[in-house]
Structure 1
Amino acid sequence: MSYELQALIGPAELVAVAAAEVSAARPRQLAQGLALIPATPEFLAALRFGDEAPATPGAAGFGWFSDGLERRLAAWSKAGPIACVEADYFGGTGTQRAALWADGRLALGPLTSAELEPFPPEGSPISRVLRRLGVHLAAPDTDPAAAVAHDEFDAAGLGTHRTTTAWASTP
């Protein structure tokens, strides 16, 4: 079974502002007050300026970034933290990359995990940026005996869909 995701994640209010600026954005709600914008080809194309190259590994090392996306992330992050995440798994092995922008600059990352590389004690790259976005495994007012998510990835609800395309196509 495979899992593939390229997306921006942030507080729902901030993601709504970002989505209002980019007509190709298809924001989706996540758990714990977060939302996600799938990084579809249409969304990424809408962020390019003029004849800018469609993909250049920028400061965060994401191969699908344009200068326009990095500029927008910096601008949006002045209102609150926003993360860029990617995951690519097949048959239980794969890679992750995540970075977080805050206060107009790259604040964390890029964090990466290579194929077959174990996650460090602080968790996967995506879980680490989700933690910085405020995701927690159990709410303070929950029953201690209640089931707790395995990690922040699960707690945020990122397992709902298996592909970026599926995130973009759901209502």
Structure 2
Amino acid sequence: MNPALFLAMVLTLAAPCLSQEAEKDAVMQPRTVVEIFSFPRSQATKTARFAFDDERSGYTLRTAGGQVIHKNILYVKTFGGRPATPSVHLIDSRYVVYPETVADSDVPDTLFHDMMAVTHVYDLQRGKLIHTSEPYQYDHDVPLRYDVDEILLLGMLEEAHDKKPAMPEGNPAPEEAGTW
């Protein structure tokens, strides 16, 4: 038998086995990446995508380029122990998720002097705040409350809204023109 023909037959028969083996060794990539940053108070810190500055009246977040995301963010730890440690999450290197204590939101008759907080979502790519949660009660350090899938969906909806063509001035919208 011709050696070239023999090699071609072997490779043809072995190819499905080789591709199945390669599939078994393939590494699955995450659908979403959530990076978690915890910031000790009174320390300015810079990440690859944003910066954290602690000031007397609250903390400030800036983009890596220095643009203010949110200034003087109130952060109140309601009960003793370790110093306050704000946590900021970064989703897919794009969405900055951070907490804020609601001013004057003390919840009466609670064991740890509970307060109310909100979670904000800032889109670094679009340069704007895209969501603020409803207030929620907390004690100790301020937790973040969010759903990753909702943030990703909200980001897609915001992008689709931005891409929607504007109606030319002077032309009525279809429903106004009676075409629907």
TM above 0.5 = no
Structure with the bigger RCO (C-alpha within 8 Å, sep 6+) is 1
State the TM-score, normalizing by the size of structure 2.
0.28
